[in-house]
Amino acid sequence: MTPFRVAYLDMNSFFASVEQELDPALRGKPVAITAVDSNSGACVAASYEAKAFGVRTGTRVADARRLCPGIIFLPSRHRLYVRFNLAVADVLDRYAELTHIRSVDEFQLALSGDAQTLEGACALVAQLKAAVAKEVGPRLRFSAGLGPNHLLAKIAGKLDKPDGLQWLSPDNMPERIAHLSLDDLPGISRAMKERLFRAGVYDVVSLCQLDPRHARQIWRSVEGERFVRMLQGMDIPIIATQRGGYGNSKVLSPEFRAPRRAYQVGRWLVEKATARLRRDGRVAARFSLTVSFFEGQTWARGVSCFPTQDTAFFLRLHRALWRALWRNGPPGPVISLGVNLTEVDLLDRRQGDLLAPLAPAERTRGERVSVAVDQINARFGDGMIRYGIHAAHPGFFERG
């Protein structure tokens, strides 16, 4: 049998399970988590007692109340769930090699030694389940997937919920997942599914049997070849991005060193960086600003956000950080400044936002506007449309 190299753990109804762990009165009852304490909006999570009535992530509150009379709604407490996430991670890391915390409720482990066999891997998962139940709470359960690579392990982890354990490898592929739809697979967005349909790939079995070189053409990227090779069982590590970020920095010429003029240069740098981000089909989840002064001091701050490629949104973050810089009074002359977009990933991999609502890999309204601006500027000349007032600063002063 092909050795197992990865275990992927997916916490079951994590948000609701945390609430049930903390409040015994909620145990055994249908619970739904909402973004705010409100009678409107949608559920962002549901307990398995609620799921038995058809309540799912994304179900509107009014529909959930109709489907499940007596359902209990609770407002989301993200910081609390993060604390439990870290508690679970601490347990896993003491029993196995925790390589990635993939999200607030998903963990990836590297397998070695006896754990690369099916029997050994199953024994390890049983040990982890017992440890999490004992040290974090018995309501905190997870489904586990085993595979020769990250992708197959993640797919396997979704096959038997809750509290299950499944494995995928060339020994049982593609028959074991033949019942899945293309967009059941992680990374297959609605747009990618349509692209596969146009290429004559209509089901998971056909995708698994696809020539990886053909997949590269369909994806228009090497990521397609990597994806299919992993479905076929190859041990190819997933690379979230091919670069760490997008940014620009400037040593300012004398006429731009006044803080207000430096701020306008910063706006120009943001426009340049975000245009490159969109050109490569990527989004960024963190924005940083660095400002250096003649006195030798440097001020640097960053802020995390929903992964986006919207120029107007990053300009608002840029303005907010400059406001923070000015909070204690006007700064002195600026010698250099830089902006950076980091925590970068492909737009095609971005998860949806139930509260927006936004489908996976779908562009927001602001992003669509940004793309239209790029197209107009490409046709009629750079800077034909700008996002308000900025100060272009080309020349040898550029460091980024």
The neighbouring-strand residues paired with 299 are 291
| Gyration radius (Cα) of the chain, Å | 24
CA dist., res. 349 & res. 105, Å (int)? 18
Query: Burial of 211 by CB count in 10 Å (0-12 exposed, 13-18 middle, 19+ buried)?
Result: exposed
Query: Burial of 33 by CB count in 10 Å (0-12 exposed, 13-18 middle, 19+ buried)?
Result: buried
CA dist., res. 223 & res. 227, Å (int)? 6
Q: How many alpha carbons fall within 13 Å on the CB side of residue 46?
A: 22
Q: Where are the alpha helices (DSSP H) in 3-114?
A: 14-22, 48-51, 61-67, 78-95
Q: Could you confirm whether 97 is annotated as catalytic? A: no
CA triple 265-270-271, angle to 5 deg = 100
**Secondary structure E strands in the chain:** 6-11, 31-34, 43-46, 72-75, 97-103, 106-110, 142-147, 165-167, 245-251, 282-293, 298-308, 334-346
User: At 363, is the secondary structure helix, strand, or coil?
Assistant: coil
How many helices and strands (H and E) does the chain possess? Answer: 13, 12
List 19, 49, 97, 106, catalytic entry: 106
Q: How many C-beta atoms surround the C-beta of residue 169 within 10 A? A: 20
Q: How many alpha carbons fall within 13 Å on the CB side of residue 89?
A: 17
- Active-site positions read 106
